[in-house]
Structure 1
Amino acid sequence: MSSSFTLLDICLSPRLSVVLDLGDYSEREVESLQWISGLSQLQHLDMSGANLSKASDWLRVTNTRPSLVENLHMSGCGLYHIPGGIANMTNLKFLYLDLNSISSIPKWLYRLSHLQSLILSFNFFHGEISSSLGNLTSIVNLDISWNYLNGSVSEIFESFSRRTSGQIESLNLFGNNLSGQLTDKLDNFEKLRDLDLSNNSISGPLPPSFGNLSCLEYLSIGDNNLTGVVSQLHFTNLTRLVEFDARGNSLTLETTPHWLPPFQLEMLILDYWHLEPSELPMWLQSQTQLRVLSMPNTRISGTIPTWLWNFSSQLEYIDLSENKLYGEVRIFRSSPFSEIFLGSNQFNGSLPLVSSTVGLLDLSNSSFSGTLFHFFCNNNSEPKALSFLHLGNNLLSGKIPECLRNWKKLSAVNLDSNNLIGNIPRSLGYLHSLQYLHLRKNHLHGELPPYLKKCTYLTILDLSYNKFLGKIPMWIGTSLSNLRVLSLRSNQFHGHIPYKLCDLTYLQILDLAHNNLSGRMPRCLHNFTAMTISSENTLPIDSLRENANVVTKGREVKYGSSLLSLAIILDLSDNIISGEIPEELSSLICLQSVNLSYNLLSGRIPPKIGDMRRLESLDLSRNQLCGQIAPSMSRLTFLSALNLSYNNLTGEIPKSTQLQSLDQSSFIGNKLCGPPLEVNCSNTNGTVPPVADQKHGGSDLLEDGWFYLSLGLGFLFGFWSVLGSLLLNLPWSIVFNRFLNSIVKKLYGVIVEHF
């Protein structure tokens, strides 16, 4: 429609409207379109994006000549059913109903014998795919992807007659619930260019008849249950094949060393295949147009051949991770903004130099050694495109260099599980785009530097298992307001938990365990908004390659980006935190795991703890909690791990399916009765015999407490007078401070518990 005409002009001149595009209605709610019925010459109607949930009635108006309509676009129109008026459009050739909420396909749709293109993707279609598909005798392009349709994949292919199958050019069945094996009678689909069967449950072998689809350009069969051997025979006549995506199957590729493929691929994705022989295929050298090469976890072994280093200059994406490659990695020549993933292999030697155009680089989980200086500080004059860097779990040593400041586009840095030493360098403060910083399991020390507050986009900050000390700075809560994960676990932090941490409204994982933190738990816990609202309202983790290590239910788990968005965890265990558990903890109703064990907490378990309905793991063991177990705890129906042992709890264990199914060890070291304990409440006359506290070996703690206190104080005075001069040296100071804290923590626990 010419931009010089208005909707009023069209209504007054119905014969003018051969093509009508309602782009102006995009994203608006339309209540009536009956005026369209006056457009007697209408052939093409595009209403994509307009909300027609209340206006599809226009198709039932009879003033139009529906037989003239050939092209109808109703993508993303908020439809819950296919309007029945479409049945009268007997000459319809192109029908787009994707991105709606339609759940069923009416039988009359298969009678539209002139349909050439039918797009039904991204809906809620369910049930079996009808064999009536074969009645669409003019169909060329069929897309029913991203639905919930069932059916046998072989029957779908067989439902098309010889005449129909011979004209189909594009068939997209991605993301349904199709099952069964593929038919070996594919020869009739002689014009098929684009075939997508991925993300279904198709099983069995890949039939050799695939090799006869001579027009095939794009083939995707990934994420199914295919098994068996794929040989050169399967590619015999695929001279036009450009993209081949078969990831996530249990297929084996067998080719001869000197095989020359008939195709020129741009994309090859064989994730989780088995290659025979188990080496990078020599025939890859012939693929001069290849841009994407993905072969992770394909059992490839040996060194990277020399030809790949020159070959890499044309690749935009290469993934050879999770294999058995070894040796040194040479300089990568790469195309602009390329992505290189070589993690989880057996490489050794120094880190390679990479082109300044590399955008993502993963060299994790190998045996690279040496310092970071050579990698970061070579050719600093060149602008760096690198945004994602993963060098974790190697043998790297030395300090993090100051020249890191030249890599200003870095948004994710993972250096965890190495042998790095020294302080956090000032250079990190120059990475203003930094979102993910992993430095866990190194030998870094010192206080957290204030220049880290400049990284205001930080989403994940993991400094666990190092030797950082001092107080947790207030600026974490004020400057790093985007934090989703904060882990300072197993360091030497002391002092109170700063109340400003409560300003981290997006925080989902807070792990301050195994430090020397003291004082009371902050009462502002209810400000952790992400812990109080449902997970669908929390922010997603942007990077698909991002992950974090989380301790829950007593074990460490690595969460990928998808699960990380759902994890909500609080761990303050093994500190010197005292006082009562604040009532505000009960307001964090989305918490899945809470660990407050090995502290000096007293008072009662919060009575409203049962409001935390999503709680799966709760550990309050080895504190000085008293009174009865809160009756509301019986409402924690998801609870699978509970530890209340070694407190001063009394009375009967509340009755619930969850609590009675737990092991007795969850409750020992208290004065409790009732199942799952063998102590019968009716026979105790209100008292329960004490159980020896294994925390202190069951000895006379009052007597031993005074003994250890006098022994410890005497030792400290003697030790200070003899070695005081050595404390002027920083490393000695760090060691001694840790030693003092550990002794004070134990003695303080003895005194508070028994006095």
Structure 2
Amino acid sequence: MFSGATIALSLLSLLLLSPVTLSDKCNPQDKKVLLQIKKDFNNPYLLSSWDPKTGCCGWYSIKCDEKTARVISLDISDSPTFTNFTGHIPPSVGDLPYLQSLTFHKLPYLTGPIQPAIAKLKNLKYLYIEYTNVSGPIPPFLAELKNLQNLHLSTNNLSGPIPSVLSQLPKLESLHLDRNKLTGPIPESFGSFKKPGPDLILSHNQLSGPIPASLGQLDPDRIDLSRNKLEGDASVFFGSRKKTQILDLSRNLLSFDFSNVDFPKQSLIWLDINHNKIYGKLPVALTKVENLQQFNVSYNRLCGEVPHGGTARLQDRFDKYVYLHNKCLCGSPLPKCK
């Protein structure tokens, strides 16, 4: 005869030997929504693993919470192998209430606007819509996603102005809007981002107007405003107490006196201001920048001697091409000053 304790121990051993894995689990409502998303995309081969007979937590591009088995990540990224992924972002994506990360990446046949239903995803932390043909404006409703940390909308066909209400995202750490067709100014409200402010990548657009003075209050790791039509004074980005590592203002219409700007000694590793209308001298403070790796001031209106000495070693660490096409710069590695 087996005792009750022995039988219980045997049952427990069987359970331990054949555990239910996370991939076998799936919240029924989440599964229903995912199958609707697949249908809305015309059942592409990329989503062939989304089999209604299996648990959705084991499907390609899906990640579930280990405890609740609710879907927390949807990452649909194409590759050259798959070319039949077409359509618009379906409204059904808004029906995954626990979603924290949503990605559509390298989908050249994904078209249409950014889906308004995304505004329902109140737990969303990461929104990546990149390398697609999504078009239309950047919708102001994105400011309703108060948990957003990364908002990356790079390399699409987005147009129109940047919504000023994006500055109301209290947790934003990274804002990438580069390589679109955005127009108009950088919003003055961006100076009110919670300090130090998000990495601000707005390059390769058609932005115009002056640099808002309010942006001087920000101090993110990266600022890239290159290849736009921005004008005026960008000296607000400089200062000895700044912690910015990468500052790229190249290929704009900026015009200000470079002579007296100051630089962080340790953090700055990339400074590019080429193809602008910046005038004055190269500041001696540049020689004290310890970790400068990328540097370019060509095609401006700078004058005077390239400053020597210091840890930056401007005269021998960088070749003449980073200084060319200025009004009257001189001194090694350029010709001697007269």
Q: Establish whether TM, by shorter chain, passes 0.5.
A: yes
Check 1:498–1:459 CA distance in 2 against 1; reply closer, same or farther (3 A cut): same
Of 278, 281, 287, which residue of structure 2 is paired with 1:610? 287
1:476 maps onto 2:190 in alignment: yes
Residue 45 (structure 2) aligned to one of 322, 327, 343: 327
Deviation string, structure 1 residues 93-112 (Cα, Å, up to 9, x no partner): xxxxxxxxxxxxxxxxxxxx
1:460 and 2:137 aligned:
no
In structure 2, the partner of 1:520 is: 233
1:583 match: 260
Query: Given the superposition, is the C-alpha separation of residues 639 and 289 from structure 1 closer, same or farther in structure 2, using an over 3 Å criterion?
Result: farther
Per-residue deviation, 1:640: 6.2
The verdict on how the C-alpha distance between 1:438 and 1:449 changes in structure 2, with shifts beyond 3 A counting, is same
Partner residue, 1:404? 118
TM-score, length of structure 1 as denominator length: 0.36
Please tell me the residue identity of whatever aligns with 1:372. I
Within the candidate set 205, 208, 211, 1:491 is matched to 205
Aligned 8 A contact 1:581 1:604 in 2: yes
Q: Give the Cα separation in 2 of the matches to 1:473 and 1:520.
A: 15
Q: Which residue of 2 aligns with 1:632?
A: 309
Inter-CA distance 399–603: structure 2 relative to 1 (3 Å threshold):
same
Let me know the Cα RMSD of the aligned residues. 3.3
Deviations 1:570-590 (A, max 9, x none): 000000111221533323541
Match of 1:646 among 306, 325, 331: 325
Q: Separation in 2 of the partners of 1:624 and 1:384?
A: 54
Partners of 2:243 and 2:136 in 1: CA distance? 34
> 1:31-46 maps to which residues of 2 (within 5 A)?
none
Deviation per residue, 1:544-587 (Å, 9 max, x gap): xxxxxxxxxxxxxxxxxxxxxxxx20000000111221533323
Counterparts of 1:420 and 1:589 in 2: how far apart (Å)? 40
CA distance in 2, matches of 1:524, 1:363: 37
Cα deviations by residue, 1:576-627 (Å, 9 ceiling, x for unpaired): 1112215333235411010000001111111121111110010001111111
Which segments of 5 or more consecutive residues in structure 1 lack a partner in the other structure? 1-263, 267-286, 292-311, 317-325, 344-354, 532-567, 654-658, 660-666, 674-685, 688-755
Deviation, structure 1 residue 639: 4.8
Map of 2:30 onto structure 1:
none
Higher radius of gyration, 1 or 2: 1
Query: Deviation string for 1:36-70 (max 9, x for gaps)?
Result: xxxxxxxxxxxxxxxxxxxxxxxxxxxxxxxxxxx
1:508 corresponding residue in structure 2: 221
Gaps of 5+ in 2: 1-14, 28-43, 63-67
**Is the 2:26–2:70 contact (alpha carbons within 8 Å) kept by the matching residues of 1?**
no
Q: Give the drift of 1:643.
A: 1.1
1:527 and 1:625, CA in 2 relative to 1: closer, same or farther beyond 3 A? closer
Structure 2 residue 107 is the aligned partner of structure 1 residue 390: no
Q: CA deviation at 1:440?
A: 0.8
Alignment of 1:111-510 (within 5 A): 289-291=20-22, 312-314=23-25, 327-330=45-48, 331=50, 342=61, 357-366=70-79, 367=82, 368-377=85-94, 380=95, 384-395=97-108, 396-505=110-219, 507-510=220-223
Deviations along 1:398-431, one digit per CA (max 9) or x if unpaired, are 0012111111111000001100111112331211
SS of the counterpart of 1:408? coil
Q: TM-score, normalised by structure 2?
A: 0.76
> Number of residues paired by the alignment?
295
Distance 1:332 1:476 in 2: 45
> Which structure's relative contact order is higher, taking Cα pairs within 8 Å and 6+ residues apart?
2
What is the distance in 2 between the residues matched to 1:651 and 1:401? 54
- Within a 5 Å distance, the mapping from 1:676-755 to structure 2 comes to 687=338
Which residue of structure 1 aligns with residue 35 of structure 2? none
Deviation at 1:524, TM superposition (A): 5.9
Contact 2:242 2:263 in 1 (8 A): no
Report the CA distance between 1:468 and its aligned residue: 1.2
Letter in structure 2 aligned against 1:632: G
| Superposition misfits of 4+ residues, deviation over 6 angstroms | 332-336
Q: CA deviation at 1:374?
A: 4.4
CA distance in 2, matches of 1:364, 1:502: 37
User: CA separation of 1:527/1:410 partners in 2, compared to 1, >3 Å: closer, same or farther?
Assistant: farther
CA contact (8 A) 1:339 1:358 kept: no
Q: 1:489: Cα distance to partner?
A: 0.3
Residue 441 to residue 582, structure 1, CA distance change in 2 (3 Å) = farther
1:598 — aligned with what?
A: 275
Q: Alpha-carbon deviation of 1:487?
A: 0.6
Task: Indicate if the aligned counterparts of 1:524 and 1:584 stay in contact, CA closer than 8 A.
Answer: no
The 2-side partners of 1:640 and 1:327 are apart by 50
Q: Distance in 2 between matches of 1:443 and 1:508?
A: 26
What SS is found at the alignment partner of 1:621? Answer: coil
Q: Is the Cα contact below 8 Å between 2:100 and 2:125 reproduced in 1?
A: yes
Q: Do the aligned residues in 2 keep the contact of 1:356 with 1:386 (CA within 8 Å)?
A: no
